[in-house]
Structure 1
Amino acid sequence: MNGTVSTGNPGLDPFTSNNMDLGFEWYFAEEALIAATYFSKELDGFIESKTEEKLVDPAYYDFINSDDQYEAGISQNPFTTPYIHSIPFNKGTNEVTGFEIAYQQPLSFLPAPFNGLGILANYTSVDAELIEGMSKNSYNFTLYYEQESYGARVSMNKRDDYITDFTGSNGNLEHGTTGPTHVDVSAFYNFNENLTFTLEVLNLTDEYERLYTTGDGTLDLMREYNHTGTTYFFGARYVM
């Protein structure tokens, strides 16, 4: 196993951004909206990480020796073995462009009891080079039903695979994460004017998170599966 070190960089400059946004909004009915936005951002001094293999700085020796988790018999010797250091740095200028389309509307024109239905949806497309954590496409859709005393909503969000860092490991150029489809549910019930019960379900479809490496930049090599399961939250709120 490779020894790794994450460090700071006191010489970092703050990154700045010059932004241009152009938006259109049409409120075609009560609480109903169609919107479109084009955006362009020029990021100067964007902060990312790079790796460098070198010996651990002697300034950390006393800290290492006093760390209860350090066991010299089973750990790589940090005093004689080069460790892979992950160091933040200012990358230069990056440009991000894209657009977003949004739609929302309560379907109150439908006959009862369907007049409590409503829709929220948006789609975002981003064109960015060498920026960590950013997907090309992402989607969100929510269907809700609300009355005065109760309501519920189901939300779905999806994003493309994305690069989590460009430093990689073990000879790989990059680390990436797949973009699964997440479905969440929430509901409320007003028992009376003072007491409200709530329910929230996260990751209803029990999706896994898949992490991968890209080898020379063209491959999709699994390196880790994360499974958090479906999470349920029950709540009650009482207002005096």
Structure 2
Amino acid sequence: MPSASFRLNLRDDLLFGAAVSKTLTRPDLSNLSAAVGYDFRPTDQTITKGNAELKPYLSKNLDLGLEWYFADTSYVSLDTFYKKVDNFSTLVTSTTEVLGFPFLLTEPVNLNSAAIKGAEFTFNYQFTHLPSPFDGLGVATNYTYVTSSASASGSEISTTGKFAIPGIGNSSNASLFYQKGPVELRLAYNWRQAYLNSIAGAQGQPTTVKSYGQLDFSGTYHLNKNVSFYLQATNLNNEKIYQYQVYLDRESYAEADGRTIAAGVHIDWK
């Protein structure tokens, strides 16, 4: 698909960038499946199916950004973006009948159109002015604000109008790192605001994923150019994933992955 990007040096330390593009993205293969699944439990009779007629996403994109390099290895930037997406797809649940019995049918459908817009702020700083060995310290952080809307026809869901696009939400991350000589250390916190998972999930109710924040650590010691030791730890704060429908106290899903710690040796035989 066509695309173009531009970069202009407003000053030696100040850069302006712009990009326009058109992209096409195929739907997930699982959503295109022709398979149909039935659940005949008396209290929860459901049908789950794919949709082989799903259309691919078509997106028109515009990105604008400024970058200010106030030191050799430090900078601050602000980027804005706008995306107009046609045929955005999501899972919806509706009622149907099979042999006179009521069922809940869940299947992927294309929305009419969707608009996504927002901005991202980034700040990276290395403390190179500190005395050794502290000159290897640094911080990196960014925050992304995004807003969205999508229109859907009444034949697809029970209420027409504007809806948040599933999977879209604000996010941020911050990390403290040290990199000097053979040592590399990083402690990072990644956060994602609550976001819509499905416009019409079980019982036709919208499903939302709660805010989630995870603390990770990674460290590497390079013994020489061929051998290095590493240690990685994810989800140190033992965060859990929760989903709810309409109200916070109506939880519909919980996932506890726990902490994961891995250590090992990397050897390059070249």
TM-score by length of 2: 0.74
Aligned to 1:232: 261
Question: Which structure has greater strand proportion?
Answer: 2
Task: Note the C-alpha offset of 1:81.
Answer: 4.2
Question: Could you tell me which of 75, 85, 110 is aligned with 2:105?
Answer: 85
SS of aligned partner of 1:229: coil
Aligned to 1:207: 239
Question: Could you tell me which of 191, 195, 199 is aligned with 1:166?
Answer: 199
Report the CA distance shift for 1:50/1:224 in structure 2 as closer, same or farther (over 3 A): closer
Task: Note the C-alpha offset of 1:133.
Answer: 1.3
Aligned to 2:130: 110
Task: Note the C-alpha offset of 1:18.
Answer: 1.1
How far, CA to CA, are the matches of 1:239 and 1:152 in structure 2?
21
Is 1:153 the counterpart of 2:200? The answer is no
SS of aligned partner of 1:170: helix
Task: Note the C-alpha offset of 1:24.
Answer: 0.6
**Could you list the per-position Cα deviations for residues 85-132 of structure 1 after superposition, in whole angstroms to 9, with x for gaps in the alignment?**
212111111111110011112211111221010111100000112200
1:55-94 correspondence to structure 2 within 5 Å = 55=97, 81-94=101-114
Aligned to 1:187: 219
**Could you list the per-position Cα deviations for residues 19-70 of structure 1 after superposition, in whole angstroms to 9, with x for gaps in the alignment?**
11111111222222211111111111111222233356xxxxxxxxxxxxxx
How far, CA to CA, are the matches of 1:80 and 1:231 in structure 2?
49
Q: How many percent identity over aligned positions?
A: 30
Task: Note the C-alpha offset of 1:180.
Answer: 2.1
2:92 touches 2:198 (CA, 8 Å); kept in 1?
no
RMSD: 1.7
Aligned to 1:5: 47
SS of aligned partner of 1:204: coil
1:104-143 correspondence to structure 2 within 5 Å = 104-129=124-149, 130-135=164-169, 137-143=170-176
The amino acid across from 1:25 in the alignment is E
The amino acid across from 2:92 in the alignment is K
How far, CA to CA, are the matches of 2:192 and 2:51 in structure 1?
32
The amino acid across from 2:165 in the alignment is I
How far, CA to CA, are the matches of 1:213 and 1:12 in structure 2?
26
Report the CA distance shift for 1:199/1:80 in structure 2 as closer, same or farther (over 3 A): farther
Report the CA distance shift for 1:224/1:90 in structure 2 as closer, same or farther (over 3 A): closer
The amino acid across from 2:114 in the alignment is N
Task: Note the C-alpha offset of 1:80.
Answer: 6.8
Question: Could you tell me which of 69, 75, 86 is aligned with 1:27?
Answer: 69
* Unmatched tracts of structure 1, length 5 or more: 57-78
Task: Note the C-alpha offset of 1:158.
Answer: 1.1
Report the CA distance shift for 1:207/1:198 in structure 2 as closer, same or farther (over 3 A): same
